[in-house]
Structure 1
Amino acid sequence: MADQPEPPNVRETALAWESLFRCQVTIMRRLQTLPDFRELNMREYDVLFNLKRAPDCGLRLGDLNEHLLLSQPSLSRMIDRLVTRGLVARIADPADARAVLITLTEAGAEVQQRIGRAHVRHINEVMAEGLSRDELCQLRRLTQALSDSVGPS
């Protein structure tokens, strides 16, 4: 019988979490200073990005909120602002007339695509500065394994 690896202790886990969190904060701070995010801030872009990935009919506010790190009231206010700017729309849910779906407008889809292209290039620049192709693959495997172990939110 092969020896099982020793499980990490609390200190090792805390240090790994701190490192992961600080890395994300450092990268996000650098990315949010780029010209891409003058038109929309990163949280607004994240809303458009998640709506772009949604089914054609859109998402209910609560379903959209599952993909974001915002409180539901904050998201609701942000949606109001994005509606006013013509980037998203509220439509009746075809499956339940009492419910409302949030969907991208044509203008919102264009803004998301334009900013998204530049954003992906900048992410590549930042990530490729510090990690090789193999290390990026390993990072993806590790973060996916961690996400899978936690399960859906």
Structure 2
Amino acid sequence: MADRATAVAAWEALFRAQVSIMRGLSAEFPTDLMSLNEYDVLFNISRAPGRRLRLKDLNRHVLISQPSVSRLVDRLVARGFVEKTDDPLDGRGTIVQLTPKGFEEFRRAAMHHVQAITERVGGALGDDDLRELTDLCDRLRLAQDARHRASSPGPRNGRA
């Protein structure tokens, strides 16, 4: 177990670096194409098999709150970027699928966004540093996922 002061100092450094980078990326984001939150939604859908994802699963991956995701998805539907359909496996669920137009707009924004990330993050760290940072962040995320699973209630009534 790490020293408390060292753990807090590392968290503070990580958090402040992330906020600083996100502010810069937000300021440079190609808002004439879409907002950064819209991009985040499209990014997550684009990575799913068939470029379609259950709304419930989308909520787990995006950086904004659940009510905001539903409203944002409705705006993306109105713009023709995504389509919503009922989940055939769960009558209460919704599937969100990227349209060809949505994928094309996502790709246009992604080209600008990737360049900004490369300049802001890759301009400050070398390849070895970036690989180490990726490894450290993945380990932190996986540890949090494990803590979450351990604290979540298990199956009810002895059923799996």
Confirm whether residue 24 of structure 1 aligns to residue 18 of structure 2.
yes
Q: CA RMSD in A?
A: 1.7
Q: Percent identity?
A: 42
Moved over 6 A (4+): none
Deviation at 1:38, TM superposition (A): 3.1
The match for 2:143 is 149
Q: TM-score, normalised by structure 1?
A: 0.87
Aligned residues: 147
In structure 1, the residue matched to 2:50 is 56
Unaligned runs of 5+ residues in structure 2 are 149-160
Q: Deviations over 1:20-73 (max 9, x none)?
A: 111111111111111523321111100000000112162221110000122211
**CA distance in 2 between partners of 1:38 and 1:24 (Å):** 24
**Taking structure 2 as the reference length, what is the TM-score of the superposition?**
0.84
Please give the per-residue CA displacement for 1:104-137, whole angstroms capped at 9, x wherever unaligned: 1111100111111221121111112211111111
Task: Name the residue aligned to 1:95.
Answer: 89
1:56 match: secondary structure: helix
- Which has a greater percent of helix? 2
CA–CA distance in structure 2, aligned partners of residues 107 and 63 of structure 1: 22
Structure 1 counterpart SS, 2:96? strand
Opposite residue 140 of structure 1, the aligned amino acid is T
Deviates more, 1:49-58 or 1:108-117: 49-58
Does the 8 Å CA contact 2:54/2:95 hold for their aligned counterparts?
yes
Are 1:83 and 2:84 matched, yes or no?
A: no
Provide closer, same or farther for how the CA distance between residues 35 and 10 of structure 1 changes in structure 2, counting only shifts above 3 A.
closer
